[in-house]
Amino acid sequence: MNLLANNLGFRMLNEIIRNTEEDITIDGCFGERFIGSGASSKIITVNGTPGNALGAYLDGATIIVNGNAQDAVGDTMNDGKIIIHGSAGDVLGYAMRGGKIYVKHDAGYRTGIHMKEYEDKKPIITVGGTVGSFLGEYLAGGIIIVLGLNTDACPVGNFTGTGMHGGKILIRSQEEPKYLPKQVCVNRADEEDLRSVKEYLEEFAALFGYGMDEIMSKSFYRLTPNARNPYKRLYTYN
Amino acid sequence: MREGMFRNVSGCAISGIISKSGKRFSGQTIVDSVAVMHERSNGLGGGFSAYGIYPEYKDYYAFHIFYDHKTAKRDCEEFLEEHFEIINLSKIPTRKVPQITDEPLIWRYFLTPLPTKLADSQLDEREYTVRCVIRINTTVSGAHVFSSGKNMGVFKAMGYPEDVGRFYRLEEYEGYCFTAHGRYPTNTPGWWGGAHPFALLDYSTVHNGEISSYDANRRTIEMYGYKCTLQTDTEVITYIIDYLHRKKGLTLKEICSVIAAPFWSDIERKPQEDREELEYLRNAFSPLLITGPFSIIVGFEGGLMALNDRLKLRSMVVAEKGDTVYVASEEAAIRVIENNPDKIWHPKGGEGVIITLEKGNP
């Protein structure tokens, strides 16, 4: 089904999306919000600039964006896949608890904050370029991968992993990420780390036309919570 | 109902366009841009600032004034006649729009200070004009000067911005720079004077956010003769910018380092020269640090500045196409008027984007 977003407005557009089992292609998209929110099946292809909260609470559907996305993509997403052939705005994958997000270029501030995992539910965010500050703030589970394919510098901003107490952040970079909070452990990623994300890197490479050789041409750093300096009795003793 | 009579809990939309070559274009473009972000406003205020729109009167202060009633107009005009030569006065042209109701009387005056009065005051012309604006806004009941710059004007009302644009026939104005605001008032009920932009002389501010340092900033700026009459945070930002730029002579870049100062931890990592400058600015103007979420676009004669709070708690996108620069809360608001920009980027928190005309002033 083909839909013209700017003629319908976001309410009507989303109502049509909710009430069909067909795959959908949306053209003429200029900031229409909540596209595909809660969707559990079908493939939604968006040509243009989808509005905030694209794929919020996504529950199994696949969303493909040919363009840039705005803020709050995949908010509290539970399952499914969001593929952005461009950049994403701030707060990508906020409180995400399952599914996968792939961004070809950059993502904004607060990427993957408050992500969590439980048993087979494990959210994965892979960003090809750089991200803003507060990457993985309060991270409780899941994996965030930042590749920095468009930069020679370390591709993350300030306050990375602040308050992180679970999950894992992998950063592809020549140099070790600096100025991390002391509750975060930084190490060179080992074989096991890279094996655990191989399928996501391969999917990223296939989606956006990169070679695995290029992706693996730099070292990766692994950020995990510092188990010896946990957030425990923080207000009583620190 | 006026600002401060009740507290209303909740975003906003901002947009700006400038032609660096000073080429003038219709106000319809900015209306089309901000209209895309309809959902970011709730109809309780919309407005525009437009630069380069009065070339035939460019040497005169253009006052745009709201009057609640005829008595206010009479009292205000009496004050204006005592302090200025009135070159021209007229109603601001509007059109009837069903969405815009209860309009006040809206008048425009082109003014120049009376030479004898100005000489007596021992003030420079701009300071003289500012003091007159503050006098009217604090002492003439029912009158509110909401625009007072040269060759620029603010147009604002209660309503959604696209309706406000139609109401003021914005498509009939041509300027080299426009900014726009769609309001979603968070603390105050919203009335015509409380809509953005807030302006003093040629400085205008549109703002998305809610600053948590409002009262500290207000107390400080009121020590320098400003009067915050509207209880909204954007008014105080406008006065801070006027104070730092016009009165203290800071550059716009320095102003960014005052109002969205880097964290001390960031300053420590800078090379010595930068560190000393940033430490100086933070120490000398510490009560003018603005905290809490904001993204602002400041218009001024010959340019535009966009700035985010240092934590970047609000969104902002900037794009360039040829000699035109676009700023908006959302990328869609740029794409709708320029779908193929040469460059598009998200400035970092605290990193001001300052655009000035290639030839200086228009």
Read out DSSP for B303-341?
EEEEEE-TT--S--EEEEETTEEEEESSHHHHHTT-SS-
**Is the domain of A132 the same as that of A238?**
yes
- What average pLDDT does this structure show over B96-103? 94
Instruction: Decide if A77 is inside a domain.
Output: yes
Rounded to an integer, the average pLDDT of B165-182 is 98
In chain B, the percentage of residues whose pLDDT exceeds 90 is 86
Same domain, A230 and A142: yes
In a domain, A147, yes or no: yes
Number of domains in chain A: 2
Residue B331 phi, psi (nearest 5)? -60, -35
Whichever domain contains A193, its CATH number is 2.160.20.60
**Shared-domain flag, residues A139 and A201:** yes
* Mean pLDDT across B262-282: 95
Cα angle B12, B16, B17; round to 5 = 160
What pLDDT shows up at residue B10? 43
State the 10-residue block means of pLDDT for chain A, 238 residues long.
91 95 96 96 96 97 98 98 98 98 98 96 98 96 98 96 95 95 93 96 98 97 84 51
* Inter-chain CB proximity A89 and B331 less than 8 Å: yes
Residue B283 has pLDDT above 80, yes or no: yes
Q: Give mean pLDDT, residues B169-173.
A: 98
Measured between alpha carbons, how far is A219 from A189 in angstroms, rounded to an integer? 8
pLDDT at A230: 61
Question: Which residue, A86, A105, A129, sits at the end of a domain?
Answer: A86
Is residue B6 scored above 80 in pLDDT?
Answer: no
Residue B228, pLDDT > 90, answer no
Statement to judge: residues A174 and A82 lie in one domain = no
Angle between helices B233-242 and B214-222 (to 10 degrees): 40
Higher pLDDT, A235 or B235: B235
Residue B3's pLDDT band (boundaries 50, 70, 90)?
very low
pLDDT digits (tens, 9 = 90+) for B182-221: 988 766 666 798 899 999 999 999 999 888 999 999 999 9
Residues A140 and A227 in one domain: yes
Q: What is the pLDDT of residue A34?
A: 96
Residue A93 lies in a domain: no
Does residue B302 carry a pLDDT above 80? yes
Q: Collect all residues of chain A within an 8 Å Cβ-Cβ radius of residue B332.
A: 29-31, 48-49, 51, 70
Which of B316, B346, B348, B351 is the best substitution to test chain A (most A C-beta atoms within 10 A)? B346
**In terms of domains, do A179 and A139 share one?**
yes
Q: What is the mean pLDDT of chain B?
A: 93
In a domain, A137, yes or no: yes
Residue B43: per-residue pLDDT? 87
Give the per-residue pLDDT at B9.
36
- A44 with A146, same domain: the answer is no
Note whether residue A107 is domain-resident: no
Phi, psi of A89 (to 5 degrees): -80, -150
pLDDT in the model for residue A126: 98
For residue A143, give its domain range.
115-238
Residue A238 maps to a domain? yes
Using a CB-CB distance cutoff of 8 angstroms, which residues of chain B are in contact with residue A134? 311
- A178 in the same domain as A77: no
Tell whether A13 and A131 lie within a shared domain: no
Is ipTM strictly over 0.90? yes
Q: Of A86, A106, A136, which closes a domain?
A: A86
Show which residues on chain B lie within 8 Å of chain A, measured between beta carbons.
36-37, 39, 265-266, 269, 311-312, 315, 317, 330-333, 335-336, 344, 346, 348-349
pTM for the full model?
A: 0.94
Q: What is the pLDDT of residue B193?
A: 87
Query: What pLDDT does A236 receive?
Result: 47
Mean pLDDT along residues B123-128: 97
Same domain assignment for residues A77 and A183:
no
- Mean local confidence (pLDDT), B169-185: 95
Domains of chain B: 13-207+293-356 (3.60.20.10)
Same domain? For A130 and A71 the reply is no
**Is A97 within a domain?**
no
- Spatial separation of the C-alpha atoms in residues A38 and A18, rounded to whole Å: 9
Minimal C-alpha gap between A196 and chain B (Å): 32
